[in-house]
Structure formats: C-alpha cells, structure tokens
Structure 1
Amino acid sequence: MRLILISGLSGSGKSVALRALEDAGYYCVDNLPATMLQEAVSIYATYGYEQIAISVDTRSSPSLGALPVEMQKLRERGIDVRLLFLESKTDTLVKRFSETRRRHPLSGSGLTVEECIRQEEELLASVQELGARIDTSELSANALRTWVNELVEADDNRLTVIFQSFGFKYGVPLDADFVFDVRCLPNPYYDKQLRPLTGQDAEIVAYFAQYPMVADLMSDIRQFLAKWLPAFRQDNRSYLTVAIGCTGGQHRSVFIAESLAKSFASEQVLLRHRQLYRDV
C-alpha cells in the first residue's frame, strides 16, 4: 500500500493537491486526525485500496504531535508513507482568503488572518520537515497538480534532487534548501530579440555559450553539489531542492537549472521553472 499525506498551511492548495491525487487513482480522505491513521489504513486495506491520500492539518491540531510516530509505525508495517507539505508566503495567503471570502480555520479565536497564519505556522513547524515541501506562492493550480504528481511518482528510496529556477523579483521560494544567485551573469533580457525567449530556447543557450564566466559558475555549483550530495543521502534525506535565481526567472536561472539537471542525470532529478509556470 502507498499512503500520501497532505499537510500544510490553510489556503496553500491542499485541496488542489488532494484532487490531483484523486484524479491519479488515489482514494482520498480530507482532514483525518493523525491518531486515526493506523485504524483508517487497516480499514481501507480490507477493502483492497492500494493507493490512499489523506489530508492531515491544523483542523485536527491536537493530534499533530503524534504524526511522526504514526508515520513510523505505518512504515514498520511495510506501507510506503510519504508526506507533501504545502506552504505559501503570508501576503499570498492573505490575498487568497480575501478573494475567496473564506474564514481561516483558526479565526474562531478572534485573530486576524495574519495572526492566524503565524499561529498555524507554529503549529505545523514540526510537520514541514517530515517530507517534501512545495511553495505554492505565484503557482497556478495546473502547475501544482503537475508538481504533486511528479513527487508522488519519484522513487522514495532514492534522494530526489529538485532543480528549481525562480525570479528574485517574486521572492525566494520557501521550499529551497540551497539558493544560488546567478544575477551576476550577462542578461539576454536587454537584447530585444532575445527578450521574449526563455532559457530553454536554443538562441539563449547559444548566447550563454559566448561567456566563459557562465561555464565557470556552473562548474562551481556542480562541484559544490557533487561534494555534499553524499552527506544528504547519509542523513536519509528524501528531497533536496536547489533553487537558482535571476531577476525575472526567465533566462539565466532557467538555463542554469536546465544545465545542472542534465549534469546530474545519474541522480533522481526533478526540474521546475517557477516563473514559467505562473500563467499555466
């Protein structure tokens, strides 16, 4: 049996993630206390369900502290348990609650939305380190569905290295483990013919091939990652997100992320372009 746990901040897209898994053939349950996971899995097993997705979040906050222990117990039963933690920047969450006019689950205590978000972050602090984190800020629903499916399909017995391009003008991704700033590189944005293109286009690749400093920077990043990846494997990490940032997340960061993903093809690699997904 495979069990995918969805957790994270209210308004970060947990419902979208759960629906994506339901479309992928998972039997989905929303808002189950962590202390009921053992019993629920046993019941679903008797009915022959092999793929289950369950949302566990602050709506059942008294049981959150038991989640790490319950996950370990399930693994000891031979169940493939994974957790996806969704989060977003505070201003993004406030905007989403304002647009949908929905109440925050913790708002009953008379707190403002910002105060509810801070309180929820504190309640979930121990949960976010249990699995793969996804920052859904500036991310479309279609992109989130794609990222969720990619993470679920990855082999959990191997370290998954996620190369993610982004634009600093939109903020540093919350889910980044390493951040490399490549804004020091020549910028094709200032060439009107190259401006509409992205780092995936052949013309942009040819543009960067002119500059030895681009190859030097990539070589330094490759050497750093090659040196430290073994340490993360020994630490039993399942996911490592390497974020590459330029100004707008369209040219330099995309090109570098694409190149690094190819360099580490022998690893289990996922490639994300955060800003290219904004309007998808």
Structure 2
Amino acid sequence: MLTPMHIVIISGLSGSGKSIALNMLEDAAYYCVDNLPSPLLQSLVDHLSGQGCERLAVAIDSRGGDSIATLPQQLKRLREERHDLHFLFLDAKSDTLLKRYSETRRRHPLASSTSTLAEAIAEERQRLASLSNLGHHIDTSELKPNALREWVRQFVLLDAGPTLTLLFESFGFKHGVPLDAELVFDVRCLPNPHYEPALRPLTGRDDAVVAFLEAAPEVCRMREDIAGFVDRWLPCYIRDNRSYLTVGIGCTGGQHRSVYFAEWLARHFKDKAHVLVRHRELAPSSSLPQ
C-alpha cells in the first residue's frame, strides 16, 4: 500500500543555494535526492511510498536537461495522489551568481566553450522562468547560509494547509529589492532612527526605536495605509489559489523602519492568515509573531 508523503521539491538557479537547502532537509530526516531528472520523479515517489518513506526532498533543475519542462505536470499528478507537496524555488540576482561562481571557481551546468558565464546564467534563468511561480520563491542574493537554512526550515515546518501564508520581509534598499516580493512598500520617507546616536545600534524590534517611530504621525498613517491596502486585496490573492504572498518593506539599511513595519504588520494580520516575518538584513530568527 502506498503511503502519502510529505514531499519538498527544490528548484532554481545554479548557485542560488539548493545544496544548502537540501542539506538542511537531510538533517531534518528527509530522504534527499539531488539532480533528479523530472521524468523519474513519479517512479521515485512510488518506490519510496511503497517502502513506507514519509519524507522526501528532491532537487530538480537545469542539470536534468529539457525534461524539466514536464515538472508542472508531475507536481499536478502527485497532488492528485494526495501527497503533501511543497515547491521551493531559489533565485538570486545575476551579479550575485557571477560573484559566487568566481569565488568558488566551479563550472556552471550550462557553461560551454562558446558562451560566457553571464550568458550561461541568462540562459538558465530563461529556461526556468516558467517554474518560478509554481510555489514559494526565495531570493538568496543577500542571504548568508545560516539565514537560508532558517528560512527553509520555516517553509517546511509551517503547515499552511489551504490557507494563504503571508510573509512580511524587511530589507534595505541599498542592498537591492528582494526578487521574491510580490508587493513592495518604500518607507524611506519616514523619520530615520539611524541619525539618533542612541538608536543607531538598535533595530526596529527595540522599544526605544518603536517609541521614536510611533511618535511621528506620518509613521502611523503609513502603516495604516499599507495595512489597508493588503487587507483590501488579500481576498483576491487567496482566491487566486496562492500558497504564499510576500510583502517587502524597505528602508535604507533594513535595520529600523522596515523592521518595525514588518513586525507591526505581522501582528496586525496574525488572525487573518498564517504569518511569517523575515528580516533580510538582520540575524535570522526562528520565532513567529506572538
């Protein structure tokens, strides 16, 4: 008898951190397979399900060739078989990938004697474009390995069921806009705690920074406007059968204003959706909003 499994499919650009994610899942007692050609996925699931395996993580990407185009159909069939299936797509900016490959001196899977590394990255991005919206999308451009491991852990452990998961992600514009954000709000126009010597080493989680920001009427108006926008359109995203909606909140450095807004919005929406909070420029935190 086949056993329904918890299955995590990882895809994305080469150099975006798929090995880190797969290793994290292996440490969490998943049966892990790297570089599996898409047409073999169903056979692997059937075999392991028949053996009583409960957790499976598979990395499928451009190394498997053109067969990856069949992946959406494979995922549809597995869901029809009532497996608990989650799809994770890892992405990164092209200049970040160039830097990573230059530092590690590894060969890109699509590299050849007639193409540059930049051309190989662009070709892979085009090949995988149709997969990036199949599930949860994480931009790893500015993430350290420990932060990526924590974000993957949150993704795997959160049991969203049929309900949309709302992610509030703070970031600093000086480090670039996250590729995984569907909605982005800019709060750089608000008073900046960075210019207060006593507040500079703190973050938007600290009471002193919160008090400083909430003393400014425009901060309260901005947070109510953002909450109202997300509130108004959230039902439409839910009707679109999305599993995740990522809302990016950006300030200059990603330490004070954006962190405060992400935390406040998470508390505001905690009774309306599954909520996660991420602070891209801060050390990773495993806590969910209370």
Q: TM-score, normalised by structure 2?
A: 0.94
Amino acid at match of 2:93: K
1:35 to 36, 39, 48: 39
1:67 to 67, 71, 81: 71
1:76 to 55, 73, 80: 80
Amino acid at match of 1:137: S
Query: In the comparison of the two structures, how many residue pairs are matched?
Result: 278
**1:1-280 matched pairs, under 5 angstroms:** 1-108=5-112, 110-154=114-158, 155-266=160-271, 267-277=273-283
Q: Distance in 2 between matches of 1:166 and 1:86?
A: 18
Q: Distance in 1 between matches of 2:268 and 2:44?
A: 43
Number of the residue aligned with 2:287:
none
Deviations 1:211-238 (A, max 9, x none): 1111100000111111111111111000
Offset at residue 110 of structure 1 (A): 2.7
Q: Distance in 2 between matches of 1:172 and 1:116?
A: 23
Offset at residue 109 of structure 1 (A): 5.3
Question: Secondary structure, in 3 states, of the residue corresponding to 1:16?
Answer: helix
Q: Distance in 2 between matches of 1:110 and 1:19?
A: 33
Question: Secondary structure, in 3 states, of the residue corresponding to 2:22?
Answer: helix
Amino acid at match of 1:253: S
Amino acid at match of 2:105: R
Offset at residue 83 of structure 1 (A): 0.7
Residues 141 and 30 of structure 1: is their aligned pair in 2 closer, same or farther, counting only changes over 3 Å?
A: same
Offset at residue 153 of structure 1 (A): 1.6
Question: Secondary structure, in 3 states, of the residue corresponding to 2:109?
Answer: coil
The answer for unaligned runs of 5 or more in structure 1 is none
Q: Distance in 2 between matches of 1:240 and 1:47?
A: 36
Amino acid at match of 1:112: T
Segments ≥4 residues shifted beyond 6 Å: none
Question: Secondary structure, in 3 states, of the residue corresponding to 1:108?
Answer: coil
Q: Distance in 2 between matches of 1:109 and 1:48?
A: 46
Question: Secondary structure, in 3 states, of the residue corresponding to 2:107?
Answer: coil
Q: Report if the CA contact (8 A) 1:140-1:277 is conserved.
A: no
Q: Report if the CA contact (8 A) 1:135-1:173 is conserved.
A: yes
Amino acid at match of 1:275: E
Q: Report if the CA contact (8 A) 1:94-1:113 is conserved.
A: yes
The answer for unaligned runs of 5 or more in structure 2 is 285-290
Q: Distance in 2 between matches of 1:85 and 1:25?
A: 21
Offset at residue 77 of structure 1 (A): 0.7
Amino acid at match of 2:79: R
Question: Secondary structure, in 3 states, of the residue corresponding to 1:35?
Answer: helix
Offset at residue 108 of structure 1 (A): 2.6
Amino acid at match of 1:41: V
What fraction of aligned residue pairs are identical, expressed as a percent?
55
Cα RMSD (Å): 1.0
Question: Secondary structure, in 3 states, of the residue corresponding to 1:5?
Answer: strand
Which deviates more, 92-101 or 102-111? 102-111
Amino acid at match of 1:139: L
Q: Distance in 2 between matches of 1:126 and 1:35?
A: 17
Amino acid at match of 2:173: F
Question: Secondary structure, in 3 states, of the residue corresponding to 1:183?
Answer: coil
Amino acid at match of 1:274: R
Q: Distance in 1 between matches of 2:113 and 2:39?
A: 24
Q: TM-score, normalised by structure 1?
A: 0.97
Q: Report if the CA contact (8 A) 1:139-1:277 is conserved.
A: no
Offset at residue 81 of structure 1 (A): 1.2
